[in-house]
Structure 1
Amino acid sequence: MNTPLLAPFASRAVAMLPDKGVPDLLFLLLHGAGADAAQMRPLAQALRAQYPQAAVLALNAPLTVDGGQQWYSLDGCNDDNHAERVTAALPAFIATVRSWAAQWELPWQQVALGGFSQGAVLALEAVQAEAQLAGRVLAFAGAYATPPAQAPHEVSLHILHGQLDPVLPHQDQVTAARRLVQLGADITADVLPDIGHELHPELIERAMHQLRSFLPARMWKEAMQAAKEQKLD
């Protein structure tokens, strides 16, 4: 089911909703700069197939640029001002995430963000800046605007990158992932060969696998503690 919807931070959205009943999960998908929501359709379709009771929304960014939309302006953007531009875009984006979750009364743990390129930057930085915004992030061909100083609280991060990406080199994301592991984050990082800066089917397939199989460390700890207490009883 595809229906145009409106949100505070998006002019329109590509929506895939459950055939019946209320959504039990929400995936918000964020395209790259110069594209639009249609870019995220392959990921939306994969999520729809794996989670038929989820609401999957691919949003359009609010700013117009030649050929498409962008989440924050790249005109004159450089290493010195990039982080500032991302930070300035976050409040409106965070409000949009909460607005969509409230539409179906979903708790933040049942919200996931999936972004490509600039959309991945925004998703990664949003959960760093705002606690209890989303439970998972799928970051395709993205990067951190600011090196992470702490692990996001109870968020599972899935980094997916092509080894041949000439736009946002995978080495930066590998470094960030290693740092987040040291900080105690629940994170996976997949770098696949022969893939450039693209939302490649193999990356999407790997993301679906991680969503199915990844168990956060905190859940292991809770299970072990429960087993220990049961043994003591």
Structure 2
Amino acid sequence: MKRSGIAALLVLTALCMGCAGTRPGPEAAAASQALKHETYTLGGKQPDAMLVALHYSGATPAFWHEFLKDWGAPVRVLLPQGPNPRREGFTWVPTDHEQKDEAAKTADLEQMAERVAQLIREARRAHPELRRVAVTGFSYGGDLAWLLAIRYPDLVDAAAPMGSRLLGEPAQALPDTRRVLVLHGEADAIIDFQKTVARVEALKARGVPIELRGYPDLGHDMSPQLIEDWRTFLRQQLSGTAHGQEPGDAR
């Protein structure tokens, strides 16, 4: 080996050793897992409610802008971005997600739900005025919204998953004040509406505070009527006036 080649190898070895000696600690590792996101307020500088909206696979947080611009009530918006590139946007799951069995799919979503939950925790720490939080999403985003509702009832008050599979089981009995409204096209060729009907009925029989609203002739998509129902439900839940609660009630 030429002298210049040996010198280069020694330099590379020294650099690698230096890297090994300065490996990131737990805080740096956690920061590297933080999801990119947008957050802003509508209708006021310090609203006491926050809406977390999770885009579908192949989209970006900008997907939600047109649905939020006429929200009509004070709210903080948190729009996370999926970490994995897909088509012109991003997704929440690995590329082999659809080839996995139900347990493995649920595990993928649970790992991602924890990352979104961490964003919600950080937002609540940064904005102590927040009293109520709702999550929503479509398709894989809806899968995540559902898991956040059943796994993190300490963080989430209401959820509106759309076109979602409802994978996973509640980790504990949900408080009576929590509400989940599932919105689903009855002609959905990707996620069978009848399976969603059976799933919701089974959950209701176990005391889960969940309701289903179907939309005839709607596929794996969103319609003007669905969006109107979605907005009405979430605004009501975030106002704190649903089910006898008062606005601004602390937990």
TM-score, normalising length: structure 2: 0.73
- Aligned residue number for residue 176 of structure 1: 199
Compare 88-97 and 57-66 and name the one that shifted more.
Answer: 57-66
Task: Indicate whether 1:139 and 2:164 are aligned.
Answer: no
- Aligned residue number for residue 4 of structure 1: none
Q: Decide whether aligned partners of structure 1 residues 176 and 36 sit closer, same or farther in structure 2, where only a CA change above 3 A counts.
A: same
Alignment of 1:1-233 (within 5 A): 9-13=34-38, 15-46=39-70, 48-49=71-72, 51=73, 53-77=74-98, 78-80=100-102, 81-107=104-130, 110-148=132-170, 151-153=173-175, 154-211=177-234, 219=243
CA distance in 1, matches of 2:97, 2:229: 34
TM-score, normalising length: structure 1: 0.78
- Aligned residue number for residue 18 of structure 2: none
One-letter amino acid of the counterpart of residue 48, structure 2: D
| Structure 2 gap ranges (5+) | 1-32, 246-251
- Displacement of 1:199 in angstroms is 2.6
| Structure 1 gap ranges (5+) | 1-7, 223-233
Compare 23-32 and 142-151 and name the one that shifted more.
Answer: 142-151
Q: Decide whether aligned partners of structure 1 residues 158 and 98 sit closer, same or farther in structure 2, where only a CA change above 3 A counts.
A: same
Residue pair 2:51, 2:76 contacting (<8 A) in 1 also: yes
Q: Decide whether aligned partners of structure 1 residues 45 and 148 sit closer, same or farther in structure 2, where only a CA change above 3 A counts.
A: same
Q: Number of aligned pairs?
A: 210
Query: 2:69 aligns to what SS in structure 1?
Result: helix
CA distance in 1, matches of 2:128, 2:97: 40
CA distance in 1, matches of 2:171, 2:197: 15
Compare 16-25 and 171-180 and name the one that shifted more.
Answer: 16-25
Q: Decide whether aligned partners of structure 1 residues 120 and 148 sit closer, same or farther in structure 2, where only a CA change above 3 A counts.
A: same
Compare 205-214 and 61-70 and name the one that shifted more.
Answer: 205-214
CA distance in 1, matches of 2:97, 2:235: 40
Query: 1:142 aligns to what SS in structure 2?
Result: coil
Name which one, 1 or 2, has greater alpha-carbon Rg. Answer: 2
One-letter amino acid of the counterpart of residue 142, structure 1: S
CA distance in 2, matches of 1:28, 1:213: 15
- Displacement of 1:99 in angstroms is 1.3
- Post-superposition Cα deviations, 1:133-152, rounded to whole Å, max 9, x if no partner, equal 11010111112222557653
CA distance in 2, matches of 1:86, 1:213: 28
Residue pair 1:44, 1:57 contacting (<8 A) in 2 also: no
**Paired-residue identity, %:** 23
